[in-house]
A and B are shown apart, each in its own frame.
Chain A
Amino acid sequence: MFSKFLQKCRVKSPWVLHFDCGSCNGCDIETLAVLTPVYDVERFGIINMGNPKHADVLLVTGTVNHRNKKVLRNLYDQMPSPKAVIAIGACGLSGGVFREAFNVVGGVDKVIPVNVYVPGCPAKPEAIIDGVVRALELFQAGPEGV
């Protein structure tokens, strides 16, 4: 019964950390729009945290390059498990139009494991909420799901 309650708590209280890996700010604006009164994700218990040590879900936007891949790795390592990673936008998925550039590593999954991919250029706020809900289904599946 206790583990069932714990599972429910995990699904009901995902605190997100948003990291901009060098996107054009399109996806970032859409990600932050999710937190405004129009979409109000706090009704699902989602809170935007500025601290990786308190976060459960990592939202990454933009292309990963050789400069910020260490930062991304560091943020991921600082999050206590169970944790989920959501890559947002064409750049986060594969590097987007910048994938051939000399400084670009590629998508987020080249550096850290990604659980959910949210496509779009920029991704729509509805799609981002949908992505977070998909990540919560992984929490529902248990610790081996994430």
Chain B
Amino acid sequence: MNTIQIIMALIAGLFLAPLAVGLITGLDRRITARLQSRLGPPILQPFYDIGKLLGKEAILTNQWMAFCSLAYLAGAVISVVLFFLQSDLLLIFFVQAIGSVFLVMGALSVPSPYSQAGANRELLQILAYEPLLILVIVGIFLSTGSFKIGAVYAMDQPLLFKMPLLFLVLGIALTIKLRKSPFDISGSHHAHQEVVRGVYTEYSGPYLGIVEIAHWFEIVLFLCLISLFWSTGVVGLVILLGVTYFAEILVDNTTSRMTWKWMIGSAWSMGLVFSLINLLWLYYG
């Protein structure tokens, strides 16, 4: 990549992609409201929410909360930037994982029982989706022969045809990461009163705003991973992203919240079986 390409990638990764995700979340809230026969908030509502949060008074329970929210943001931003610079998938995966763990550490640093319960549930969610994510990355390695993102873009046919089951596995991980039903046990995207606010309980004001922005960057990363499955054309990529996100909204509105045992059991059993079949097919096929 030359300098101009790097600057373009940075602009896209740091500004355009999070703004697009903000619009997608606004659209998500509106479609969800329509599915519940309500009118729903304006499309720009997520931006109003974040603007308001950043302008509120900063009340800290302890200094760790501020550090952890910023470290969570840093982890999410760095992983997105690495993706847009077409770096190594494994490196991106580890940076993203470190960021997510800081969110939990901040929530664990206060004695509030709701924050503690939310943090433990968030750890279980991380435990549920991280193995699935690494299996998807292994699948990409088996299909392209490299962990580099550039190798995916060098392919002449979309990864979706080679790894359809691993795409479903990534869908499970995306549902957990988007905090959608049936996996919204640590802090739900739409239900705002689950264990008070779960892992977000003790973050308030501007720090909650920072955590929300970091969450947008994480969604950017996951949607980018999904976009790798149709790397040959822009039209197919946009259609794949649209269909996947709409499926997420439908699943969110038609399922109820389950327990953490069910989450780990189903995510691992479905994820591991699908991955194993797909990986064996890639290895011997």
The answer on a CB contact under 8 Å between B59 and A53 is yes
Task: Select the residue from A10, A13, A51 with max chain B CB neighbours within 10 A.
Answer: A51
A10 to B204, CA, bound (A): 15
Interface size on A, residues (CB 8 A): 25
The answer on a CB contact under 8 Å between A43 and B56 is no
The answer on a CB contact under 8 Å between B193 and A13 is no
Any chain B CB within 8 A of the CB of A30?
A: no
Within 8 A of A (CB), among B175-228: 192-193, 196-197, 200-205, 208
**B21 CB, nearest partner CB in chain A, Å:** 18
Any chain A CB within 8 A of the CB of B7?
A: no
Mask: chain A, 77-113; 1 = CB below 8 Å from B; 0 = not: 0101110000000000000000000000000000000
**A8 CB, nearest partner CB in chain B, Å:** 7
Given A10-B55, A48-B192, A43:B38 Cβ within 8 A: yes
Find chain A residues with CB under 8 A from B158 CB.
Answer: none
A40 to B29, CA, bound (A): 13
Which of A9, A44, A48, A53 sits near B201, CB closer than 8 Å? Answer: A53
The answer on a CB contact under 8 Å between B51 and A80 is no
The answer on a CB contact under 8 Å between B193 and A50 is yes
A43 to B26, CA, bound (A): 12
The answer on a CB contact under 8 Å between B49 and A43 is no
Find chain A residues with CB under 8 A from B52 CB.
Answer: 6, 9-10, 12-13, 56
Given A50-B193, A51-B197, A54-B208, A13:B40 Cβ within 8 A: no
Mask: chain B, 36-69; 1 = CB below 8 Å from A; 0 = not: 1111111001011111101111110000000000
Find chain A residues with CB under 8 A from B48 CB.
Answer: 8-9, 12-13, 45
Find chain B residues with CB under 8 A from A13 CB.
Answer: 45, 48-49, 51-52
Any chain A CB within 8 A of the CB of B33?
A: yes
Which of A40, A53, A82 sits near B39, CB closer than 8 Å? Answer: A40
A54 to B207, CA, bound (A): 11
Mask: chain A, 7-46; 1 = CB below 8 Å from B; 0 = not: 0111011000000000000000000000001001011110
| Closest chain B residue, CB of each to CB of A3 | B55
The answer on a CB contact under 8 Å between A81 and B197 is no
A82 to B52, CA, bound (A): 10
| Closest chain A residue, CB of each to CB of B46 | A13
Interface residues on B, range: 20 to 34
Find chain A residues with CB under 8 A from B45 CB.
Answer: 12-13, 45
A85 to B177, CA, bound (A): 35
A53 to B197, CA, bound (A): 10
**A116 CB, nearest partner CB in chain B, Å:** 19
Given A6-B51, A54-B197, A45:B42 Cβ within 8 A: yes
Mask: chain B, 76-93; 1 = CB below 8 Å from A; 0 = not: 000000000000000000
Given A13-B49, A37-B38, A80:B58 Cβ within 8 A: yes
CB-defined A-B contacts under 8 Å, sample of 22: A6-B51, A6-B52, A6-B54, A6-B55, A9-B48, A10-B55, A12-B48, A37-B36, A40-B40, A42-B29, A42-B41, A43-B39, A43-B40, A44-B41, A45-B45, A50-B193, A50-B197, A51-B201, A54-B200, A54-B208, A80-B205, A82-B56
Given contacts A13-B49, A45-B49, 10 further A-B contacts (CB under 8 A): A6-B55, A9-B52, A10-B52, A37-B36, A40-B39, A48-B193, A50-B196, A53-B204, A54-B200, A80-B57
**Interface residue ranges, B against A (CB under 8 Å):** 29, 33, 36-42, 45, 47-52, 54-59, 192-193, 196-197, 200-205, 208
